[in-house]
Amino acid sequence: MNVLLVNHRLDAAGGGTARKAVTLARALRGIGWQVRLAAFAFGPAVEPDVDAHASYLPHAMQRWTIPTRWPSTVFEQAAWADVVVLVNHWTTINAMYAVAAWRHHTPVVVMPCGALPIFGRSAWIKRAYNAAIGRRIVGRAQAGIAVTALEARDFDAYGLPRERVHVIPNAVAVDEASAADGQRFRQRWRQQRPFVLFAGRLAAIKGPDLLLRAWERIAPTTSLDLILAGDSGDLAGDVERWLATHGVRTRARWIGPLDHASLLDAFSAAHALVVPSRFEAMSLVLLEAALAGCPVIATTTCGVPDVAAQGGLEVEPTEEALASALAHAVAWPPGEAADRGARLRAWVHGTYTWVAITPRYREVLSQAAAQRR
C-alpha cells in the first residue's frame, strides 16, 4: 500500500510531530508498505534516511508558513497515495494536501497529535483557519487517530463521528535507545556535574517558565545543574531574560535544539527528565527518555498515564508542585535513580514500542484506504 505522510516540518525543530512522522514512516516501511513524506523545506530531517523518501515545499515566513508556490508534485503525490495522513492541524501544508487528496478522491486520515483544541497565542488565526478549511479537513476525514481516549473527544467539535476516531498511543523505537551515550553528551557540552533535563520547545504549552521558577526555589539546596534543550518558541525571550538574570546563580542554561541522537545521549546522561507541560496529548519525549532508562518528573497534563505507578514522579502543573518533586528527585541516591529508570524502561518496552503499535496503524490505514472511490 502507498502512504503519504504530511507534516509541517521534518527537521529537529519540528519536535514531536516530526519524530512521529519519521518513526511512523519507518515502521510502515518495515511491514512492506511504500511510504513518502512531505513537509516544508526548513532544514535536514531529524533522521539521515528520511530525505530519500521526502519532498520539501518552498515557503516564506516561519510560524505561519506560507507556500511560495503550489508545486505539481502535491497533486501527483496525492494521486499516488492510497491514503494521505495529515499530522498536526494548524498548517497550510495540511490544507494543500487535503485539497489535492479531495481532487483525486484519496482517503484522508488526520492525526493531530493534540493540536485540535485552540490553545495559546494566535487564537484568532486558528479560528480563521478552522473556518476557512480546518474544520472541513477533520470533519471529512475517513478516519482520525488520537493518542489517548481524552484526545478522541477533541474530534467531536469538528464533526467527525466517534466511530471513525481510533485511539493509537505514541510509540518509540527500541533500537534507537540502545545507541545512547551519556558520556558523549557530557564531553560535547562540557557538563561534568549531574543535571536535570528539560527537552522541548520554549513555549507556554510546554511549561518551561513553570520549571524555571520551580528550579529557582530548590537550586540553593542542590549541586545539580539544569539544562534546557529544544527549539525557541513563544517563551524564548522570557526564558533568555530569566537565564540572563538567574542562570549563573541557579546553574541553569539553554543549549538550543538537539538532533535526535544527541537527545538520546542527553537522556542517558541526565539525573532526571522534567516534563512540566501545561497540556500535551501524549508526551513523546517522556516515552523516549523512559526507554533510555532516564527517570522522569511529569505533570498530570502531559498525557501519559501511569507514570507514577511505573517509577516516575507525577505532579500538578504548578511551580510549587514541580519544586517539591524536584527537591525529592535531586536527593535520590544513584541506586534509586537507576531503579526508577529501569522500571520505566521495562514499562515502555512492553507497552509503547513500534513492534506493539504498528499492527494498529496497519488496520486503521487499510480500512481508510479501502474507502477510496
Q: State pLDDT tens for residues 104-150.
A: 999 999 999 999 998 766 788 899 999 999 999 999 999 999 999 99
Residue type, 45: A
Q: Would the pTM count as exceeding 0.95? A: no
What pLDDT is attached to residue 45?
64
What pLDDT is attached to residue 58?
79
Taking only the tens place, the pLDDT of each residue in 312-341 is: 999 999 999 999 999 999 998 879 999 999
- Report helix angle 15-29 to 284-291, nearest 10: 60
Residue type, 40: F
Kind plus residue range of the DSSP H or E element containing 60: strand 59-60
Residue 64 has pLDDT above 70, yes or no: no
**Is the CB of residue 86 less than 8 Å from the CB of residue 109?**
yes
What pLDDT is attached to residue 120?
67
| Domains of the chain as residue ranges with CATH | 2-170+354-369 (3.40.50.2000), 174-351 (3.40.50.2000)
CA angle, 349 then 166 then 31, to 5°: 55
HEC assignment per residue over 185-232:
HHHHCCCCCCEEEEECCECHHHCHHHHHHHHHHHHHHCCCEEEEECCE
Mean pLDDT of 300-311: 92
Q: Higher confidence at residue 166 or residue 11?
A: 166
Beta carbons within 8 Å of 352's beta carbon, 6+ residues apart: 169, 170, 171, 172, 287, 291
Q: Higher confidence at residue 64 or residue 239?
A: 239
Residue 228 has pLDDT above 80, yes or no: yes
What pLDDT is attached to residue 329?
94
**Is the CB of residue 166 less than 8 Å from the CB of residue 146?**
yes
Mean pLDDT over each residue of the chain, to the nearest integer: 91
How many CA atoms are closer than 13 Å to the CA of 4, on its beta-carbon side? 27
Mean pLDDT of 290-314: 94
What pLDDT is attached to residue 367?
97
Taking only the tens place, the pLDDT of each residue in 28-44 is: 999 999 999 999 887 66
Q: Identify the bridge partners of residue 83 per DSSP, sorted by sequence position.
A: 3
What pLDDT is attached to residue 25?
93
What pLDDT is attached to residue 52?
65
What pLDDT is attached to residue 51?
63
Residue 226 has pLDDT above 70, yes or no: yes
* Of 315, 310, 285, the residue nearest 297 (C-alpha): 315
What pLDDT is attached to residue 297?
97
**Is the CB of residue 300 less than 8 Å from the CB of residue 316?**
yes
CA distance 103 to 10: 25
